[in-house]
Structure 1
Amino acid sequence: MPEFPHTDPISNLYKLLKEKSFFTGDFTLASGKKSNYYIDCRLTTLDPEGACLVGAAIRKTIIGKCEELGTSVQSIGGLTLGADPIALSASMASYQAEDSKILKPFVVRKAAKEHGKGKQIEGGFQKGDSVVALDDVITTGGSTLKAIEAIENEGGKVEFVLVLVDRQEGGKEIIEEAGYKVFSLFTRDALFETNEKETSQN
């Protein structure tokens, strides 16, 4: 996985996310709510270039936030499916970076398995880990809180939440009210701002 030494992975990820994952128009969301835009981060996180950029950007942000908060983390992950490629990409980036500790990826199932060991969390997570809870998009905050509940039930400590895009529909505030710090790489307003600038220049 390349480290993009001469460029900013967050800026490049922003451009790719705009190109592949951000759409304007008339959409009906899974909740039944109408929206004038749609974000499908998986078109970026499951893209080869996108995966490299996501890994570098998330790793860089986690390192910065840990330094800022005076903490450290051992593992990263969130509720399947949106968080899965993000956690894996960031873990791979941490493995290939000589100056960074390895971030172990994990997946939170929507429900515990009814067979085998009956686990809800799969992967590198261990009881006692300090964790960054990941997600691709925050809307209501419900999926993130569900992941946090599973992590804490398994003995993990969530240091903070990190997402690619905050849709700015109240989800961030709901998670913060529950007692967790929330950070996003991008916001809905930032994505729309570029669209408006491009329209005015054409």
Structure 2
Amino acid sequence: MAGSGSDLKAQLIRDILKYEAVKFGSFTLKSGVVSPIYMDIRVCVSHPKFLTAIAEAVEQTLKAANLRFDHLCGVPYTALPIATCISTKTHQPMLMRRKEAKAYGTKQIIEGKYRAGDKVLVIEDIVTSGSSILETVKVLENAGLTVTDAIVLIDREQGGKGYLEERGINLHPVLKLSEIIDRLEVENLIQADVAQRSREFIRTVKPSLTPAAVGVGERASFEGRARSAKHPVSAKLLKFVNKKKTNLCVAIDVETTAELLELTSKVAPYVCAVKTHVDQLSDFVYEKVIPELKRLSEEHSFLLFEDRKFGDIGETVRAQYGGGVFKISEWADIVTVHGVPGAGVIQGLKSAASEKNACIIVAEMSSAGALTDDSYKKACASMVESNADFVIGTVSQSRVVKSPEFIQFTPGVNFELSGDGKGQQYVPPEVAISDRGADIVIVGRGVTRNGDPGDRARIYSERAWEAYEKATGN
């Protein structure tokens, strides 16, 4: 294609009609909605000239936007040939995201060579809700890659652009659906009444931009889950959540007893749990730390959550949990455990626990390049479900276990930063809850190292609670 940008767009729109990538009539969509317009860019694979024209238009858009990136990645499957054409033309490296990781060989879900921190430009064919782009972004971010921009051939103008931008992804459309309709009407390629019906459809029919639209599924209220909770620790936690109207857990990672107790007292009114790393304390003395932590937790109705991340054979974790200088099983309501050792690690912890103790399995981490792939998450989900007498949920970035019986704690939450330069990746509480399925958000430095900790905890608590109410329809 040659000529100015407007000439290129005009010809591309004609090609979209010529190759029947757009059709007008009456079409029942996947959602059940009847639409007067239907887009199908997949036909481009059968028409090399059309595919080339698409790739050139996308390339022109990325150059006009002055985007800088290390890799291209097409959303599977239609955008893959488009990204491939751009890669071969510009000599820009490409990554390929699989729908599922291979069960053999390298078991990669992302094919291609990259380094943690590399920036990826996502390519998509059509955006309606934006959920497909978000799904690809999540996979890339889990591999330690960075995504801030996406290019789409056609924006249907039904809310997806704003939805993506709220989640930190700038969307750059080559064409808007209204442009296509206007151009075809001006050139008498479609009737005026057809154009009007199509415009009205775009204006009035919007996709569901709800948790279900991005794979989270139905959300139950904390009140209902508290009533049906089977484990006493789950029941206690959910009652606190519902009573205090907060689903915030603050991670207090400090090195002295004084700091730990001072910060805990400040955030106590706004949290359902406080997460600790007591082995970081340089001056730990059980009698000076634990009784005061317990007093604060009882006075302000929150749980004590020791993020020990047990990850050894059963007998070793039994001794670590029930003994040593920390005596964790005596005071921690919840502890974390890695799934790597297998079910034996759960059995070991159980042997040192009482009904007042519970654990959660670390199924996903918020750090760049974490090795928690799909097969690991499935194994963790199985461990959760088969040990419901002790395991009450997961630490994860997605809904690893579907049943509302289990609680999802999501770390890496901060509404001001996207990362810390050391591998940590952040999302705001609204994204953690609506898109990633979080029940309880874990916030650390966003509260403890940024202004007044009590006020910061209040702000995070209010935002997280509002997001959960919205997700449950309350």
Contact 2:79–2:124 (Cα < 8 Å) also in 1: yes
Return the alpha-carbon distance in structure 2 between the equivalents of residues 193 and 5 of structure 1: 22
Please show how residues 1-202 of structure 1 align to structure 2 within 5 Å. 4-6=1-3, 8=5, 9-20=8-19, 21-44=21-44, 46-66=46-66, 72-94=68-90, 102-123=91-112, 125-197=114-186, 198=188, 199=191
* 1:126/1:39 CA distance change after superposition, 3 Å: farther
- Give the drift of 1:45: 5.1
**What are the Cα deviations for residues 55-87 of structure 1, in whole angstroms up to 9, with x where unaligned?**
222222212212xxxx51121113210210110
- Give the drift of 1:195: 3.2
AA matched with 1:176: E
- Give the drift of 1:7: 6.0
Aligned partner of residue 31 in structure 1, secondary structure:
coil
Higher relative contact order (CA 8 A, sep 6+): 1
Return the alpha-carbon distance in structure 2 between the equivalents of residues 167 and 38 of structure 1: 11
**What are the Cα deviations for residues 25-79 of structure 1, in whole angstroms up to 9, with x where unaligned?**
111122322211101112235421012212222222212212xxxx511211132
Return the alpha-carbon distance in structure 2 between the equivalents of residues 117 and 64 of structure 1: 38
Return the alpha-carbon distance in structure 1 between the equivalents of residues 58 and 125 of structure 2: 11
- Give the drift of 1:119: 1.4
- Give the drift of 1:115: 2.5
AA matched with 1:151: L
Aligned residues between the structures: 186
Aligned partner of residue 65 in structure 2, secondary structure:
helix
Structure 1 unpaired stretches of 5+: 95-101
Q: What is aligned with 1:99?
A: none
AA matched with 1:134: I
Contact 1:163–1:183 (Cα < 8 Å) also in 2: yes
Task: Please say which structure displays the higher CA radius of gyration.
Answer: 2
Return the alpha-carbon distance in structure 2 between the equivalents of residues 169 and 179 of structure 1: 18
Aligned partner of residue 36 in structure 2, secondary structure:
strand
**What are the Cα deviations for residues 80-127 of structure 1, in whole angstroms up to 9, with x where unaligned?**
102101100111221xxxxxxx21222222232232222111235553
Aligned partner of residue 117 in structure 1, secondary structure:
coil
Return the alpha-carbon distance in structure 2 between the equivalents of residues 40 and 178 of structure 1: 26
Aligned partner of residue 32 in structure 1, secondary structure:
coil
Contact 2:61–2:172 (Cα < 8 Å) also in 1: no
Contact 2:13–2:183 (Cα < 8 Å) also in 1: no
Return the alpha-carbon distance in structure 2 between the equivalents of residues 120 and 63 of structure 1: 29
Contact 2:78–2:125 (Cα < 8 Å) also in 1: yes
Return the alpha-carbon distance in structure 2 between the equivalents of residues 74 and 46 of structure 1: 29
AA matched with 2:119: S
**What are the Cα deviations for residues 156-189 of structure 1, in whole angstroms up to 9, with x where unaligned?**
1113110000111211111111111111111111
Aligned partner of residue 61 in structure 2, secondary structure:
helix
Percent of residue pairs identical: 27
* 1:61/1:125 CA distance change after superposition, 3 Å: farther
Name which of structure 1's ranges 105-114 and 135-144 shifts more when overlaid on structure 2. Answer: 105-114
Return the alpha-carbon distance in structure 2 between the equivalents of residues 158 and 23 of structure 1: 33
Alignment TM-score, normalising by the size of structure 2: 0.37
Aligned partner of residue 37 in structure 1, secondary structure:
strand
Structure 2 unpaired stretches of 5+: 193-474
AA matched with 2:148: E
- Give the drift of 1:153: 1.0
Return the alpha-carbon distance in structure 2 between the equivalents of residues 79 and 148 of structure 1: 9
